[in-house]
A and B are shown apart, each in its own frame.
Chain A
Amino acid sequence: MIRKILLPFIFVILAYGFWISPDFKEIAAGVAIFLFGMIALEEGFKAFSGGLLEKLLRRTTDNLWKSLSFGAITTTIMQSSSLVSVLTISFLSAGLIDLAAGIGIIFGANIGTTTGAWLVAGLGLKVKISAYAMPMLVFGVILIFQKAQSLKGIGYVLAGLGFLFLGIHHMKEGFEAFKETIDLEAYAVPGFTGLLIFTLIGIAATVIMQSSHATLVLIITALAAQQVTYENALALAIGANIGTTITAILGAMSANVEGKRLAAAHLVFNAVTGLVAMVFIQQLITVVDYLSNTAGIAADNYTLKLAVFHTVFNLLGVILMIPFINKLVTFLTKTFKAPHVDLVQPRYLNDAVMEFPEAVLEAVRKETFHLYDNAFEVMAHGLNLPPNVILSDRDLDQIAHQLGRAGHFDIDAQYEQKVKVLHSAIVEFVSRANVGMPSDFSEQLFALRQASQNIIEAVKGTKHLQKNLSQYSVSDNPEIRREYNNIRSQLGGILRKLNALRYAGDNSGMMLTLDVIKVDLVKKSSELNDMIDGLIRKNKITAEMATSLMNDNGYACSVAHNLVDIGGVLFGEHNPGMNDAEREMALDKDDIDELIKSDSSRSK
């Protein structure tokens, strides 16, 4: 209800403002252009990231100082702490980083965001920034129309920076002209009341604009035009710092419990930092004056002193909170309890990961593994081979022939509850996530969706096998009993091999290793057909048993082929280039037939 009213309300206020003051129009347009610049910058960095972001994140967040540095540097480059927060929540929800690393990145982002104030106060106000903006916009837009992703990315970054500079220019001009009509400094509120009121205004402005950078630029340009007092500007800056947590909170609403914990950590950190800054404002002002004097900043250069203040109070916050990170993690873990792990519900698919292709891919990959683990249990029980036996080193041939009649295992119910639900969730999620995704990520997503389909087919094949397996694997007829137990040990063997490949460490060449299984399957299939003919001729099995065996052999082959296809996608190389190379060398049907032919002619 509030959302429905809010947007029209904001439009009405803005329209009224534009009507009564053209200078307000220029300031608002400056803010809009600035925000658009940030969106373009975001697009630019996303185009560049690819798998690089994922690799960087894994390597640079295994300890606190690395996470802090990562947060600070990426925020400085991207000039957006909101983007870094959303990125962190996305990657945390996909399980790419843990909570402590995420908190470290957020702390670092708060330091990195202070560079924005320095850039605007130190550069933006001193030079004719629009002169730089125009050529950046022109070159940027030309590059955006190029085919190559890297050039497009550079284009978005250039255009984004151009819009940023243009936005700052219009805000500056707007406030300068505004001074002629209304002197906002007359509305300054001194003392603690002013501190509180302007902090709240800072929070409100940042919540509305969803960008602390935009709020800071507004504050600095207003301060430069003496539209706001220095003390009130400091309060606005504190408010902007607290208000910026709204982006993380909104982003975490669609995240899993880990994302929510991180958003809460962000809010706690910024709120505590803000509170400390408000309580010790006078002491901080003294420190800022001392540091500014030491650095040669003039006493009346309030814009630069604001930048110093912004840096000092964020650094103070980080220094205060670092010793309590582990306690914070414990507190958040207790407060935001993970829901009971339900086998049937997706664990990793949530809307928070949709922001970044790498996070989407990782979430879908993890969920497909989750599906595979469930399917493994169902297939193992369907084959009457306990999962722990399949995963051990024990002789499967021996076990398969030894085990007695299977207990009742309702494979249909298990399939509906543990397998089909997850597969449906994966299919639905991939369909939604694929919109606007780069083509190389799209291909990988579809490969994972196909793997999920292969898992379903493998379980369904096992379902078909189960009835005759449970009957004939304990049959009095030794021939049919042997053949059905061979099917069980063969499929168990493939499951075991896949498990070994999964945990082998080096996943490259995986697809090619599976070719050995494919060749073996084709060989055994043709041998079985000859063997069945022999058994029928010698009256060792009935015709009914023979047809059941032939049908079930077909199902077993289908299960085996599906398992091999699953292995190639899930346990293979994640690098698309390496995958394509392996696919080129993988044996096709003709290669396999040729191999088997030459092998049988050699043995003759």
Chain B
Amino acid sequence: MNVKNYLKKMMDYLDVNKKKCASREACLKKVLKKLKKRKDELKSKLKNEKSEKGCKALKEELEVVQTQRKKGLKALKELQKKSK
């Protein structure tokens, strides 16, 4: 069983396409994580922001980040479906 797993891991390592997909998935997850962190930061800033101009700017940025996350999650889902 172990030999089979090792062989599979070696084949995966040598398979260029699989490596590319795995790398792409890892990068997408990393960026999504940073976007989530940014989203939480903006929400927290929005709670404490008093000026109307400041609130408006933060809301606009938050919308942009949420749209970006939506796109990223869609791309990740498609990639995970493809690799299965």
- A-to-B contact residues, CB < 8 Å: 147-148, 151, 508-509, 512, 515-516, 519-520, 575, 577-578, 580-582, 584-587, 591, 594-595, 599
- Verify if B30 is at the interface (C-beta below 8 Å from A): yes
A508-B30, A581-B27 given; A586·B60 CB < 8 A? no
Question: In the complex, A512 Cα to B32 Cα: how many Å?
Answer: 11
Q: Which residues of B contact A580 (CB under 8 A)?
A: 24, 27
Whether A595 and B67, one on each chain, are in contact in the complex, defined by CB atoms closer than 8 angstroms, is yes
Whether A515 and B24, one on each chain, are in contact in the complex, defined by CB atoms closer than 8 angstroms, is no
Q: Which residues of B contact A509 (CB under 8 A)?
A: 31, 34-35, 38
Q: Which residues of A contact B67 (CB under 8 A)?
A: 587, 591, 594-595
Rounded to whole Å, the gap between the CB of A471 and the closest CB of chain B is 30
- Verify if B55 is at the interface (C-beta below 8 Å from A): no
Rounded to whole Å, the gap between the CB of B39 and the closest CB of chain A is 11
Q: Which residues of A contact B26 (CB under 8 A)?
A: 577
Q: Which residues of B contact A582 (CB under 8 A)?
A: 31
Whether A578 and B60, one on each chain, are in contact in the complex, defined by CB atoms closer than 8 angstroms, is no
Whether A581 and B28, one on each chain, are in contact in the complex, defined by CB atoms closer than 8 angstroms, is yes
Q: Which residues of A contact B72 (CB under 8 A)?
A: 581, 584-585
Q: Which residues of B contact A512 (CB under 8 A)?
A: 31, 35, 65, 68
Whether B35 and A578, one on each chain, are in contact in the complex, defined by CB atoms closer than 8 angstroms, is no
Question: In the complex, A148 Cα to B12 Cα: how many Å?
Answer: 13
- Verify if B23 is at the interface (C-beta below 8 Å from A): yes
The winner among B14, B27, B30, B63 for most chain A CB atoms within 10 A is B27
Question: In the complex, A599 Cα to B38 Cα: how many Å?
Answer: 20
Whether A585 and B16, one on each chain, are in contact in the complex, defined by CB atoms closer than 8 angstroms, is no
Provide 6 A-B residue pairs closer than 8 Å at the C-beta atoms, listed in order of the A residue: A148-B16, A509-B34, A512-B65, A515-B68, A516-B60, A584-B71
Rounded to whole Å, the gap between the CB of B67 and the closest CB of chain A is 6
A584-B75, A585-B71 given; A147·B16 CB < 8 A? yes
- B-to-A contact residues, CB < 8 Å: 14, 16, 23-24, 26-28, 30-32, 34-35, 38, 60-61, 63-65, 67-69, 71-72, 75
Whether B34 and A508, one on each chain, are in contact in the complex, defined by CB atoms closer than 8 angstroms, is yes
Rounded to whole Å, the gap between the CB of A50 and the closest CB of chain B is 13
Rounded to whole Å, the gap between the CB of B84 and the closest CB of chain A is 19
Whether A586 and B68, one on each chain, are in contact in the complex, defined by CB atoms closer than 8 angstroms, is yes
Q: Which residues of B contact A148 (CB under 8 A)?
A: 14, 16
Q: Which residues of B contact A508 (CB under 8 A)?
A: 30-31, 34
A577-B24, A581-B31, A585-B72 given; A519·B16 CB < 8 A? no
Question: In the complex, A581 Cα to B23 Cα: how many Å?
Answer: 10
The winner among B14, B16, B24, B68 for most chain A CB atoms within 10 A is B68
Question: In the complex, A578 Cα to B60 Cα: how many Å?
Answer: 24
Question: In the complex, A519 Cα to B28 Cα: how many Å?
Answer: 23
Question: In the complex, A520 Cα to B61 Cα: how many Å?
Answer: 10
Q: Which residues of A contact B60 (CB under 8 A)?
A: 516, 519-520, 599
Question: In the complex, A584 Cα to B71 Cα: how many Å?
Answer: 7
Q: Which residues of B contact A591 (CB under 8 A)?
A: 67, 71
Q: Which residues of A contact B63 (CB under 8 A)?
A: 595, 599
Whether A516 and B30, one on each chain, are in contact in the complex, defined by CB atoms closer than 8 angstroms, is no
Whether B31 and A585, one on each chain, are in contact in the complex, defined by CB atoms closer than 8 angstroms, is yes
Q: Which residues of B contact A584 (CB under 8 A)?
A: 28, 71-72, 75
Q: Which residues of A contact B23 (CB under 8 A)?
A: 577
Nearest-CB residue, chain B, relative to A518: B64
Rounded to whole Å, the gap between the CB of A439 and the closest CB of chain B is 12
Q: Which residues of A contact B68 (CB under 8 A)?
A: 512, 515, 585-587
Question: In the complex, A584 Cα to B69 Cα: how many Å?
Answer: 10
Rounded to whole Å, the gap between the CB of B66 and the closest CB of chain A is 10
Q: Which residues of A contact B38 (CB under 8 A)?
A: 509
Question: In the complex, A519 Cα to B57 Cα: how many Å?
Answer: 11
Whether B27 and A595, one on each chain, are in contact in the complex, defined by CB atoms closer than 8 angstroms, is no
Question: In the complex, A151 Cα to B61 Cα: how many Å?
Answer: 45
What are the nearest 7 A-B pairs in CB distance?
A581-B27, A585-B72, A577-B27, A585-B68, A581-B31, A509-B34, A581-B28
Question: In the complex, A585 Cα to B28 Cα: how many Å?
Answer: 9
A508-B30, A512-B35, A577-B27 given; A585·B64 CB < 8 A? no
Nearest-CB residue, chain B, relative to A577: B27
A148-B14, A577-B23, A591-B71 given; A516·B64 CB < 8 A? yes
Nearest-CB residue, chain B, relative to A149: B16
Question: In the complex, A591 Cα to B60 Cα: how many Å?
Answer: 13
The winner among B24, B30, B35 for most chain A CB atoms within 10 A is B30
Whether A585 and B69, one on each chain, are in contact in the complex, defined by CB atoms closer than 8 angstroms, is yes
The winner among A147, A512, A575, A587 for most chain B CB atoms within 10 A is A512
Q: Which residues of B contact A575 (CB under 8 A)?
A: 27
Q: Which residues of B contact A578 (CB under 8 A)?
A: 27, 30-31
Rounded to whole Å, the gap between the CB of A206 and the closest CB of chain B is 40
Rounded to whole Å, the gap between the CB of B82 and the closest CB of chain A is 14
Rounded to whole Å, the gap between the CB of A526 and the closest CB of chain B is 15
Nearest-CB residue, chain A, relative to B65: A512
Nearest-CB residue, chain B, relative to A582: B31
Rounded to whole Å, the gap between the CB of A220 and the closest CB of chain B is 38
Rounded to whole Å, the gap between the CB of A486 and the closest CB of chain B is 15
Q: Which residues of B contact A147 (CB under 8 A)?
A: 16
The winner among A147, A151, A578, A581 for most chain B CB atoms within 10 A is A581
